[in-house]
Structure 1
């Protein structure tokens, strides 16, 4: 489970336990730590705002799809299954939980909402102690992050190679107002957070697994505001500048376990 900081992680309920590692270990594995390439974003000159026109390629005479330049760094990514304790949402910003899901037709959005949403809502309530949970979106990612020639590819539905955060401090509040306009003012009087839940569609994840950064290793200056221009709306995310202090983790052979 990966948290996106609409509030500091320290303000989330502190009832999350580190004591259940054995119940989440699917099998004992070798070390599993890996070296891998991570794509960072470079601050544009003169502090120009980053932008990315979603699903628009550059065309002759047309506006560029993005002004972002990137740099690739080789980093060590630790297998969190080998930690002496499991990471937790209120410390590292992510944690492992079991979520048993019946067979689902992943091409059927309505079936996903009917079957999976109630299970995820219950999981988040149990994990965080939240008094209310509102699910509002889901994304399916399929395929490899690389072409057959080894080059990174992008595109709708593909794993995202750039290090990023899906919500900013501002857009977390904006999204709340869009989803629950009549209640937003009252709801923001108490702590809230945007939480993402990731799980495999089937089997285990052996290609392009999700990597996460320990929230404690991230400095506020590492975040770059990134304007996303969709055909129907404009949103903001954070791109990330390189910082050698970043500590990366992944879950080897992610299967029935949910992040």
Structure 2
């Protein structure tokens, strides 16, 4: 399908200063800006994945797994605490079976929801992230995300190599011995909450088409309580984008955001408008995990 997504322009100011953006408005601060990078809207072809076996996590940065989970669709809205641990366990089990090279896989998320204790890592902060597209999206003003997180149409990876270390320190306080000196991956598992889903699907970029030396830029994502380091993408006509057409709840899109050494394939991703969509506004759930070798 033909759609569009946002890259970041290679503007002159980024030669002297690091890119940044905020997830809140700064209108109350005189002279402040909420970002110093210029969005670059591009028309792209987003290809439907015909054969999931054609894509491998370690080559393309993403893959597709089929896995049955029992997440209560309504429960994620009524009481996240009552359903999230069971869902995390199911996702971790699916990944352990698919990727036996990992010695340990721990699910977490960093969206602004209520921190909940986890029985594995002591003092672990875990979250269940749900996105429910507002009928006004994409015209929702940035910084006013209403009740639920909205899809992100900017091509990005959730963290950089250094950013992933900061996340682990923040999310697993006092547990540095579990990952220090070890190799690890930061993974996402994304799926719709209802099926079939064709509204604003998640598109992933084949990493073999990305030029790491020229296409990728580090950016500070300034939150209300911390600063994360993420990666954003500059346009390259060689990029190839893919999505799962009519993705079902058992179709798990698994992709790598970062790794401890900055050497592995990862998947830049963005939500894209589907001009042929006939279903209701997108509802999706994603789990972020650290997978330790």
- TM-score normalised by structure 1 residue count: 0.78
- Does 2:167 align with 1:175? yes
- Aligned match of 2:237: 244
Q: Following TM superposition, by how much is the alpha carbon of 1:153 offset from its aligned partner in structure 2, in angstroms?
A: 6.1
Q: CA RMSD in A?
A: 2.3
1:100 counterpart (68, 84, 89)? 68
- Does 2:57 align with 1:89? yes
2:251 counterpart (242, 250, 257)? 257
Written as runs of structure 1 = structure 2, the 5 A alignment for 1:131-170 is 131-137=103-109, 138-143=128-133, 147=137, 154=142, 155-156=144-145, 157-170=149-162
Structure 2: runs of 5+ lacking an equivalent: 110-127, 254-293
Written as runs of structure 1 = structure 2, the 5 A alignment for 1:42-57 is 42-46=9-13, 47=15, 48-56=17-25
Specify the SS of the correspondent of 2:169.
helix
After superposition, what is the alpha-carbon deviation per residue over 1:69-107, rounded to whole angstroms, capped at 9, x for unaligned? 111111111111x24843121111111112222251111
> Contact 1:145–1:160 (CA<8 Å) still a contact in 2?
no
Higher strand share: 2
Q: Which moved more, 1:234-243 or 1:85-94?
A: 85-94
- Does 2:216 align with 1:223? yes
Q: Following TM superposition, by how much is the alpha carbon of 1:152 offset from its aligned partner in structure 2, in angstroms?
A: 7.8
- Aligned match of 1:205: 197
Specify the SS of the correspondent of 2:166.
helix
Structure 1: runs of 5+ lacking an equivalent: 1-33
> Contact 1:225–1:237 (CA<8 Å) still a contact in 2?
yes
The 1:206–1:177 alpha-carbon spacing in structure 2 relative to 1, beyond 3 Å, is: same
The 1:72–1:66 alpha-carbon spacing in structure 2 relative to 1, beyond 3 Å, is: same
Distance in 1, matches of 2:199 and 2:140, equals 13
Q: Following TM superposition, by how much is the alpha carbon of 1:247 offset from its aligned partner in structure 2, in angstroms?
A: 0.9
Specify the SS of the correspondent of 2:167.
helix
Q: Following TM superposition, by how much is the alpha carbon of 1:197 offset from its aligned partner in structure 2, in angstroms?
A: 0.5
Distance in 2, matches of 1:225 and 1:188, equals 23
The 1:103–1:169 alpha-carbon spacing in structure 2 relative to 1, beyond 3 Å, is: closer
Q: Following TM superposition, by how much is the alpha carbon of 1:213 offset from its aligned partner in structure 2, in angstroms?
A: 0.4
- Does 2:33 align with 1:64? yes
Distance in 2, matches of 1:127 and 1:73, equals 35
Distance in 2, matches of 1:99 and 1:246, equals 29
- TM-score normalised by structure 2 residue count: 0.69
> Contact 1:222–1:241 (CA<8 Å) still a contact in 2?
yes
Specify the SS of the correspondent of 1:91.
helix
